[in-house]
Every structure is written in C-alpha cells, then in structure tokens.
Chain A
Amino acid sequence: MKRRVVTLLLALGAIFGIAAPALADGAQNGADVHVAQSLGDRDLTVIVRRVAEVPGPVHVDVVTHAGTPAGELSLTLRSAGAPSSATKVVLGATPGFYSGLLHVDRPGPWELAVDEATIPFVVPALVPSPWENATYGGFIAAGVLLLAALVLAVLGRPGFALVPAAGMVAAIAVGVTAALLSPSIPPVPAPGSDLDPTYDTVMNPYERTSIADFSRPPVNMVPRVDGQDLVLSLTDGSSGRPVDDLLVHDSAFVHLVVVSPSGHLRHLHPVRTAPGEYRVKLRDPEQGTHALAAEIARRGGGVQLLRSTVDVEGGAAAPAHDGKADTGMEIREAGRPSTLTANFGERDLQPWLGMLGHMIVVGPITDGPAGAPIWAHVHSMLPPRPGQPDQPDESVAAYGPDVPFTYSFPLPGRYLVWIQVERDYSVVTVPRTVDVPAGKAAVK
C-alpha cells in the first residue's frame, strides 16, 4: 500500500511537471514602427512602440529635429474611423524625444492621426499557433492519460490500464513531433505587410490563404502644387483606384527626393492625408521645373521608384548645403563598383531612417536633373546587432565617423551626389559631383 501511494505521488508530480502550460509567445510580437513625417514646417519621426498587451497602453514618441518649431501636436488613435483615445504632445524648442500615451482596446488595424497626418499600423493579436497547440495539447493529454492509467492500475485493473498508457505514448509522440518540427514551418503571411490587415486577418493569422504571389501592380504618381504644398496623388496602375497600402519602408511611407533646377536637394517624407494622397510643404522653393523621385513599397513586397517633374512658382534663391565632410572617392569606370567614403570627424552620428547614411545619385547630367537617366539611393548600413529585433532609434549617437558607400555608376558622365547623415537631430547634406569615366565595355 505504501509503495502504491509513493508511486501515485511521484506520477502526479511528473504529470504537473509536464503538463503545466508554459506561457506561449504570440504569433507576431510586432515591433516598433518608425515613420519619418515632414509635417508642415516640422521634420518629425513618429515612433509607435510595440504594443505589449491588449487592451493596454500605446507609447508614442515624437522625435523633433533641429529647426522644428515648438508647439502642440494632437495625437488621436482611430479604429475603423472611430476615435478611441486622444492626447496632446507639447513639443519643446530643443530637438529630442517627446512622448504621448494612448490606449488601444482591441487588436486589429489602427490609425494614428498626428494633426492632419495619418499613420496606419497593426496591433497584433496574441494567437497561439496550431503547432504550439499541438505541443501543449499533446503533453497535457499525456499527463491526463498517465493519471488514468495509474488510477486503473491502482484499482487492480492492469489490463484496462494498457489502453490509456498506449494513448499517453501517442500523445507524447504528437507533442514531441510538433515541438521538433515547429521551427521549420514557414511563417504565415503577416497581415499588414503581406495581407491587408482586417479585424479577421489579425485575429486569425494562421488561416492560410491560397495566395502565393503577394506582389501588387505598379503605381502612378501625379504631383501638383497646392499653395505651398506639394501634393502627390498615388493611383493603382491597373485599376486606377487610390493606393492606400504603402508599407513603412526605410522608416517612411514615401521617400520623396526633390531636386531643384540649380541642383538643390530635399529629402522629404510626405504625410498621408487621405487614401492615396500624400502632402508635403515645400519651403522657399525656386522657380522652375523640379525633378521628383518617390520611393515606395506596396503591401506584398517590392520597392518602386516613381519619377516625375513638377513646375513650381517661387522666387527664392537656392540655399546652399552647408554639410562638411572629407570625402574619399575611388571612382572606377562605368559599370564597376566605385567607393565614396565620407569622414564626418567625430563618432557621434545618429541613425537616420534606419541607416547610417544615405547617398542620392542623379546623373549623368546634361540639361538639368529632370532629364537625368539614372536616379539611385545608396545606403550605408548600421553595424548589425544580432538578436535584437528593434532597430536603434535616433537617441543612439554613436556611429561613424566613416560613412562608406559602394555604387556601380551604370553610365559614364557627370553625376550629382548628395551624402546625408544625421547629427544632433539635424540632417547634414554634403553635395558632391562625380565624374565617371567610360568603361572598356562602353568603348567597344
């Protein structure tokens, strides 16, 4: 009798040891959303921090940059158009982080309105995956069956006890198989980046669809000038409908580069004011035809470069870029990789748009930037941080001083090049011209 009690106690301990349900991680943990916004006279970076629990708080950081006027921003969270929580963020005169606290009451697609700019984002639901359910379910069933087998054995029915014992072996096999195979199961298409985020797709992310190719048609961009603002109208190249599925790509919905007739560069991040409509203020423009290039990424993958021109009325003289850097250039013939390394002196550069540096290349120039056949955007990457999903934000000022770029200029000729980095919450732009010699292949 004593032995039976000891056996029973040991078995119970084993059951609770195995079957205690571990807390599962959700399907997608999400990550911070960093979006650069050129909102009126302000250059902001809006960071929507990862939502840890639903319902729960949403931390929003607004990063201001040098030259951002002080004032008040209203932040509103909306779900399906209905506002659910709002707050005000008072921006000070010094550049840096200003925080607001909002509240979500359910997972799904949400929209953060920052004054007239709107930022769609997804609050993921914590849904255990089918293979997690199989793993935990298998072990829990094994525990229950072991208990049943023990009870039958203790009651003197060893023959009947064989049935739950066999079931326990099967349940352990299911749990172990699911646990071992789960790392090799491909992730499901994520609502927000592959699929359109709806309440259904967010709540049930493991519902597989038959879609294999998630890419979407190209986009038409029609720019127009409205007062001081430049308004971009984005429409689908196949249906003509407004394009409202832009992804945050390199920390912005639209990377708009505007080059004036005299070669002055602006790198702007238009704000979404309506579906398919993006708006940005052009401060003190020059008169004449400006070259535009917008980099966007649609849901489902693939980055597109949209080029256009717009005629601007204005009287201002072109301001000169005041960025300074020693630029080492190793220019090879067209088609071979050339290297430009900008040295900014101190090791205090901040990440800008998730990168250490950006280089915009326009050329070869014959009659102004609007007619240049090549338009490129080259990155200098941040050193990798293994195991950390979130990119460092702008509060980390510890990069540089060397910012290297490698680019194969496809055609010989004279190129306009601008190197951009961030320091002291201010974007530093260093203009250069590069003469690329003709390669042997081009001579042939």
Chain B
Amino acid sequence: MKRSVVAVVAGVLAVIAAAVVLWPRTVEAQPHLAESADLRFELTPDSTKSGSNAFDLRITDRSGNAADGDVTVEPAMPQMGHALAPITAAAQAPGRYRVAGVDLTMPGQWEITVSLRGERVVIPLLLT
C-alpha cells in the first residue's frame, strides 16, 4: 500500500516537472521605450505574434507632460527590404495614441518608426 502511494506521488511529480519544462511559453508584450531629443516614446504592441497587430503609444516630453500633434507610424522589415504604408495614429487622450489594424504578416525583426513634429524614433519589434 505504502509503495503504491510513493509510486503515485513520484508519477505526479514527474508529470508536473515535465509540464513545467515543456509548457509552451508566450512572450508577454512589453512596452518598448525610445527617446528623441525632446520626446519620450513608449510603444506597447497588442501581440508579439505575426499577423494583425495594434500599438498603444504614450508620448511625453522630457519632463513627463503629454505631447500632442500628428503621430505617424511607419512599419518596415529591413531583412525583406519591405516597407508598409505609413499610418496616422488616432489620439485617445492627451499623450496617448492607438494604431489598430497593422498587418505585420511575417515573423521576424520589424522596425517601427514613430514620428511626431519632426522627431523620429525607430523601435525594434521582434515577432514570432
């Protein structure tokens, strides 16, 4: 009786260990930070997978005040020599913008150029 309990416990432990090791992990979408001369840009993608994506943008000046103006997002994939048409971001709140329906169809390293009032930053984005 005791031996079978030990065997069951060992089996359960082995299954848990295998699950921990083999469980498929998804990469959490992290905010990406970039600074230009006067502005701070923070881009958070909805997903880190290829396909249709959306970005949340938070743009402030150096002292943390919300920036305003027309924000343009230019996605490009340098490895493929391929650029997408620039998209104008929709303002959600002061300093907060959102771009939806960005078709980043290929997995790999993308470059998202964000510009506001002549200031441009290039944010690298790796999609799986």
Binding site for B on A (CB under 8 A): 180, 330, 332, 336-337, 339, 379, 381, 383-384, 404, 406-408, 440
Contact = CB atoms under 8 A, between A and B. Distances in A.
Given A379-B81, A440-B118, A337 B86 contact: yes
A337 B83 contact: yes
Interface in B67-101: 74, 80-86
A384 B82 contact: no
A408 B106 contact: no
7 contacts: A180-B22, A337-B74, A339-B85, A383-B105, A384-B50, A406-B84, A408-B83
Contacts of A408: 83
Interface of B: 22, 50, 74, 80-86, 105-106, 118
Contact of A407 (B22, B80, B83, B106): B83
Given A384-B105, A384-B106, A339 B118 contact: no
B14 to A, nearest CB: 12
A212 B22 CA distance: 32
Contacts of B81: 379
A115 B118 CA distance: 57
B117 to A, nearest CB: 11
Contact of A339 (B50, B82, B86, B105): B86
B82 A379 contact: yes
A61 to B, nearest CB: 26
Nearest to B115: A336
Given A332-B86, A379-B81, 11 more contacts: A330-B85, A336-B86, A337-B74, A337-B85, A337-B86, A339-B86, A379-B82, A381-B82, A404-B85, A406-B86, A440-B118
A407 B86 CA distance: 10
Given A337-B74, A383-B105, A384-B105, A406 B118 contact: no
A135 to B, nearest CB: 16
Nearest to A406: B83
A332 B113 CA distance: 15
Nearest to B120: A336
A189 B9 CA distance: 46
Nearest to B84: A406
Nearest 9 CB-CB pairs, A to B?
A406-B83, A339-B85, A384-B105, A406-B85, A337-B86, A337-B74, A337-B83, A406-B84, A384-B106
Contacts of B85: 330, 337, 339, 404, 406
Contacts of B84: 406
Contacts of B82: 379, 381
Nearest to B106: A384
B25 to A, nearest CB: 13
A378 to B, nearest CB: 8
A180 B106 CA distance: 26
Contacts of B22: 180
A381 B85 CA distance: 13
Contacts of A339: 85-86
Contacts of A381: 80, 82, 105
A41 B27 CA distance: 54
A379 B76 CA distance: 13
A441 B6 CA distance: 75
Contacts of A332: 86
Most chain A beta-carbon neighbours within 10 Å: one of B83, B105, B106: B83
Contacts of B83: 337, 406-408
B110 to A, nearest CB: 14
B75 to A, nearest CB: 9
A202 to B, nearest CB: 27
Most chain B beta-carbon neighbours within 10 Å: one of A332, A337, A381, A384: A337
Nearest to B85: A339
Nearest to A341: B85
A98 B79 CA distance: 35
B49 to A, nearest CB: 11
